[in-house]
Amino acid sequence: MKVLVIGTGAVGCAVAIAAADAGMETAVLARTKTAEYIRNHGLKRTGIFGEKEISPERIAVYEDYDQIPSGFDYVAVASKTMANSSVADALASHRDILGSNGRIVLFQNGWGNDEPYLVHFPASQVFNARVITGFERTEPGITKVTVHTAPILLGSLHGESIKELEPLANAINDSGIPSETSDQLEEALWAKMLYNTTLNPLGAILDMSYGELAATEHIVDIMNDLIKETFAVIDAAGYKTFWKTPKEYMDVFYGKLVPDTVAHRASTLQDIEKRQKTEIDTLNGCVQKLGRKYGVKTPTHDMIVEMIKGIEDIRC
């Protein structure tokens, strides 16, 4: 099988390593500096699931869509969500990369990431992944698994068959990172939205790990308000997740999810430290947008969005 990974940050490198480790024909689309590093050194994964290295000759590296050959079974998109419109347009302009049977799988934070792809491709070719494992890119081509609380899930938000995703899910799982397919991806992605919108930008604003955020009742009060507002939006929009009430989720959140990821540093914080724009618009900004659409007030999310955008204005 052939796998193309678009976006060679921490998650993208991990997916490429898993695919190559499984014997799949693996390629990456990378920027010049990262492309040069991978050509010379290959890819490496470190962290809690052990080390894996992929030598340079096992990875094809491209810097432009015009260079990419045809016939990939999977295109794993792990770029920042802000790039989705341009990635979708580029793939639509180079349809032979996927052909009629290839599948796009979005390994990204947030909700609504599939929308730009569905403009060009049928739902039978557009899939999502729920990633709640923590990754950090320590160097170009090197990713570190920092924390883990649940398997990576691959599935469809549109009722499509997920059987064809099993080889990719198995490859990730066999590389040492728990992964499987799921027919409850909507529930899983909103579970991740609850987790991410509560912890990720707040960790960036306060420069705290997830464990530190939960260590004081003052910050816990803010997080509880974020959770309650997200549940109100889920209910108003008619979406689904695994818990019926904020209280049910909070029991899992404070009892398992935060303890499992106590040392994690938010990806939003990592973006700001690199002076890069964040994914706030597909995280708390998405909850804010849906709240306005369905008449739900989201004052805590509104505050978080404005604070992150203010930090971006100064530092990014």
Half-sphere exposure at residue 229, Cβ-oriented, CA atoms within 13 angstroms: 27
Cα-to-chain-centroid distance, residue 212: 23
> Do 153 and 189 meet the contact criterion of CB atoms below 8 Å apart?
no
Alpha-carbon distances of 311 from 79, 206, 250, 280, 282, rounded to whole Å: 22, 11, 28, 11, 17
DSSP assignment of 39-103: HHH-EEEEETT--EEE-GGGEEEESSGGG--S--SEEEE-S-GGGHHHHHHHHHHTGGGTTTT-E
Calpha distance 49→279 (Å, rounded): 27
Query: Most distant CA pair in the chain: distance in Å?
Result: 54
Token pair, residue 68, equals 């990419």
Please confirm, yes or no, whether 192 is among the known catalytic residues.
yes
Residue (of 117, 175, 102) closest to 143 by Cα position: 175
Token pair, residue 57, equals 């000759």
Catalytic residue among 80, 144, 192, 289: 192
Calpha distance 221→214 (Å, rounded): 10
The residues carrying an active-site annotation are 192
